Structure 1
Amino acid sequence: MCLVRGLVLDFGGVLTDSGSEELLIAVERARREDIRTAILSNADGRWAPPREWGHLFDAVVTSGASGVAKPDAEIYLLTASELGLEPGDCVFVDDLPVNVRGAAAAGMVGVHHTSVETTLQELEILLAIPLRG
């Protein structure tokens, strides 16, 4: 049984990485397994994900809109709350180690994104569901 029920992804550096289409497919598969999903970005308040992603994410939290930025614990707590989950129920993926450490300090499981393939491997273990092919 999967203990992680929330998947939180950074935008810049993760969802903009080469091969990010595979991550979006993984998000879709996670949602089919009742995993709640969010984007957490230090973008300004005017930023929004592409419209075609609207069905993929339950929440979008930005620093500009919330007034707090990664790696401050408050933004991770806010994101978990937006998903209706406790921080310990969420895994956070970011390309910057400082942000991964911030998420872990707030109680989330942190995954340091270095490539789409390794991130998907880690997420399959943490979510206990197949996310690739």
Structure 2
Amino acid sequence: MQGLVVDFGGVLAGSGSDRAVLTEIIGALRAVGVRSAILSNDPGGPAGAELRGLGNGVLVDEVVLSGDVGMAKPDPRIYRLTADRLGLAPVDCVFVDDLAVNVRGAAASGMVGVHHVDPEATATELRILFDLGQGVPVQW
């Protein structure tokens, strides 16, 4: 696996999220060369500026907002677009979302899907999928 794509609302923010745990794992993965993106069904436009500000290496490499690209999860095309923006094939990416329907859409595009229910469980699953040991230091 060479890419990580995560939803924002419900995974990095909102109910059921623990931003510190998940940003730590994103940082650890980026430190070992994994490309990363946020994929959100945000309406985009001027209100999406804060989310877009997390791209370009601030938290992730790319931010794809459905309102900006004219398609939304679970349409498999948006997952393929996101992988393409990372310079990867969908089969080289893991996608994390709190909604099972979106995880199924990612799987239909070729990505490995992780249904986020608990931040610690998601972080553990990502460490396994990306073969990161528990003691891998986070480098910012």
Residue in structure 2 matched with residue 26 of structure 1 by the alignment: 25
Residue in structure 1 matched with residue 44 of structure 2 by the alignment: 45
| Alignment equivalent of 2:80, drawn from 52, 57, 77 | 77
Structure 1 residue ranges (4+ consecutive) displaced by more than 6 angstroms after TM superposition: none
CA distance 1:8–1:38, change in 2 (3 Å): same
CA–CA separation in structure 1 for the residues paired with 2:97 and 2:28: 20
Taking structure 1 as the reference length, what is the TM-score of the superposition? 0.91
Q: Residue 52 of structure 2 contacts residue 63 of structure 2 at CA under 8 Å; is this kept in 1? A: no
| Alignment equivalent of 2:90, drawn from 87, 92, 95 | 87
CA–CA separation in structure 1 for the residues paired with 2:19 and 2:72: 23
Q: Residue 26 of structure 1 contacts residue 131 of structure 1 at CA under 8 Å; is this kept in 2? A: no
Structure 2 gaps, min length 5: none
Residue identity opposite 1:96 in structure 2? L
The answer to whether residue 135 in structure 2 is matched with residue 114 in structure 1 is: no
CA distance 1:12–1:131, change in 2 (3 Å): farther
Taking structure 2 as the reference length, what is the TM-score of the superposition? 0.86
Q: CA RMSD in A?
A: 1.8
Match of 2:101, SS state, is helix
CA–CA separation in structure 2 for the residues paired with 1:6 and 1:76: 12
Residue in structure 1 matched with residue 4 of structure 2 by the alignment: 7
CA distance 1:105–1:33, change in 2 (3 Å): same
Residue in structure 2 matched with residue 36 of structure 1 by the alignment: 35
| Residues 85-133 of structure 1: CA deviation (Å, up to 9, x unaligned) | 0000000000000000000000000000000011011101101113677
CA distance 1:64–1:50, change in 2 (3 Å): closer
CA–CA separation in structure 2 for the residues paired with 1:43 and 1:52: 14
CA distance 1:84–1:130, change in 2 (3 Å): same
